[in-house]
Structure 1
Amino acid sequence: MSANIFIRSIAGSAILTAGILLALISCTGNGEIDPEQNDSDGQSGYLVGKVTDPAGNALPDATIFTENTVYKNRGAEVSSSSDGTYKLSLVAGLGQWTAKGYILKAYNGKVYKINLHPDNTASFTEDEKPVRNFQWKLQGHIADKSLDLYYGGTAELYRDLNSELRDSENVEFTFRPDGPLIDGSGGKVLKLRCGKSGTSGYNLIKDIPIGRYKVSAVYVPTGQSLRVTDAWNDGTYYPEVTMEFYGTDQSYRSNQMGIGYTDL
């Protein structure tokens, strides 16, 4: 390679890098564009949309961000405004982007990170006038169907080592809301079981709306009431135990709880 070509190559790379950086910081400090300029019909060069809560009301302070499908880097991010709308500048000339979002919600002294559900998962370019609306869902499979993940929390089940009840799929757990759920709604009584042995859902109860619950259990084949415990924090068994999901303070167990049970 000649010296001139080498210099031109370096210069071209520097210009591209500078262009990317300028585009990424063209928003305000947190990536936010003036909400007054939002255009719900789309606008070339921007990603726009609205974020709503489980009841369909505007949801402020949700975080929306972009990811590039080629460079695998996160782009700018923006917080939704008081009316739930957002507008985010896109980097030109870098191909396709996808949009994602989440909220951080304080509840019963903990903070929970919950992913938002997009109304459209298709990638887009900056000139397509993309519009992506998001909703906070208490339950349901996440948009990426290739992953076994849900918007609700997960309960891991632990049989007492001295118990002979080895068919945990036949244990029915009752979850009674103890106060409002994380979105402020009243919730409802849930009767749930884990998946069958050999499945990905064995000893797991998935997609439970985040909340505080009074939990009890019964062995369905005989109708026997079992005793339960907070497996990660206590170890003493009771006819009923009050349970909460871990928050972001326990990153590897966030949005999860552990329930122990025994027939002894």
Structure 2
Amino acid sequence: MRRLLAAGVLLLTMGGCGVVDVTGDFTAGSDDTGGSSQGTRTDDRGSASMDGVGTAARRDGGVEPGVLKGRVVDANGRPIQGALIVADNQMVYNSNLMAPTDADGYYRIQTPGPFTFHATGQVTRQMNGQEFATDLMPDDDNPFAGPSGAIRNFTLKLDGKKPGGQGHVGGMVIFYLNSTDPNDPDSFLQDEGVTLTLRPEGPLLDGSAGETITRKAERGGDGSGLYGVPIARYRISADYQGRPLRVKAQGGSDFAASVVADFRTVMSGIYRIDLELSL
């Protein structure tokens, strides 16, 4: 028990405010190619300097004891530089370890002490004057023992569901529907009768060309609309069981046949477009 407490104090001391940037060996050593590789160090100001992280991460002879490593790619298999990988210490509060990926998408983090870690990743991109942080999808979401080490590869996906029922990747398009039918004042329109069409006005968040999305609305915890929509600027139109609906941004002044809208940030990693619809 004393040994565990001492290790916890050591790790917290390493972490300072609770987050440590650790990407590679802290003593010079030889990699598999015979060269020297030290990994990324953090200087007194907390900034990281890259010195061989790619070489260290590419030592792919299986799992290394005491090391979390892997690679981050996009949906087309292209490497992603600058993604942030976090090894979350499951036993000591607020003492995560973190590292960025190099130009080839590789990262490497030492996982010292008798602790259990869970690996997560995030990449941040700029679009239309806004910043979007997107969670990366792991090939293995299980925790691992720090002394044993692990390989965790990640993929940047723009839509779909997150593992473990933790919501959706991408953004949500939520609407408020005026339930009045001018042709039949005694009937009420139902949200499930709405179909939304989203046409990209420019590239998606990863720079790829998007496709037109046409989907029926679904009810979710945040309201009725579409969930798991790739982040982009869209021209949005809608219909109710084949009848065109008028559309406007929530709080906007005028309805129109379609509206161009950007996602807004609700909180880190959660983005939405809010609309009003009416016959």
Scaled by the length of structure 2, what TM-score is found? 0.78
Q: How does 1:31-50 map to 2 (within 5 A)?
A: 34-35=52-53, 36-38=55-57, 39-40=59-60, 41-50=62-71
Contact conserved, 1:194 with 1:202, CA < 8 A, in 2? no
Contact conserved, 1:118 with 1:134, CA < 8 A, in 2? yes
Residue 105 of structure 1, aligned match among 100, 115, 125: 125
Shift of 1:73: 3.2
Pair 1:192 & 2:215 matched: yes
Shift of 1:127: 2.6
Shift of 1:109: 0.9
Residues 165 and 84 from structure 1, CA distance in 2 versus in 1: closer, same or farther, beyond 3 angstroms?
farther
Residues 15 and 118 from structure 1, CA distance in 2 versus in 1: closer, same or farther, beyond 3 angstroms?
same
Shift of 1:51: 0.4
RMSD: 2.6
Q: Deviations over 1:171-206 (max 9, x none)?
A: 11111111111111111111112225xx64751310
Residues 20 and 88 from structure 1, CA distance in 2 versus in 1: closer, same or farther, beyond 3 angstroms?
same
Residues 210 and 81 from structure 1, CA distance in 2 versus in 1: closer, same or farther, beyond 3 angstroms?
same
Structure with a larger share of its residues in strand: 2
Matching residue's letter, 1:256: R
Q: Any gaps of 5 or more consecutive residues in structure 2?
A: 23-40, 182-186
Residue 78 of structure 1, aligned match among 68, 75, 99: 99
Aligned equivalent of 1:114: 134
Q: Secondary structure at the match of 2:143?
A: coil
Distance of 1:179 and 1:50 partners within structure 2: 28
Aligned residue pair count:
244
Pair 1:245 & 2:245 matched: no
Q: Percent of pairs identical after alignment?
A: 23
Distance of 1:125 and 1:144 partners within structure 2: 20
Q: Secondary structure at the match of 1:16?
A: helix
Scaled by the length of structure 1, what TM-score is found? 0.83
Distance of 1:238 and 1:63 partners within structure 2: 41
Shift of 1:224: 1.6
Q: Any gaps of 5 or more consecutive residues in structure 1?
A: 1-8
Distance of 1:143 and 1:100 partners within structure 2: 11
Matching residue's letter, 1:42: V
Pair 1:168 & 2:191 matched: yes
Matching residue's letter, 1:238: A
Distance of 1:67 and 1:83 partners within structure 2: 23
Residues 255 and 217 from structure 1, CA distance in 2 versus in 1: closer, same or farther, beyond 3 angstroms?
same
Residues 224 and 17 from structure 1, CA distance in 2 versus in 1: closer, same or farther, beyond 3 angstroms?
closer
Shift of 1:151: 0.7
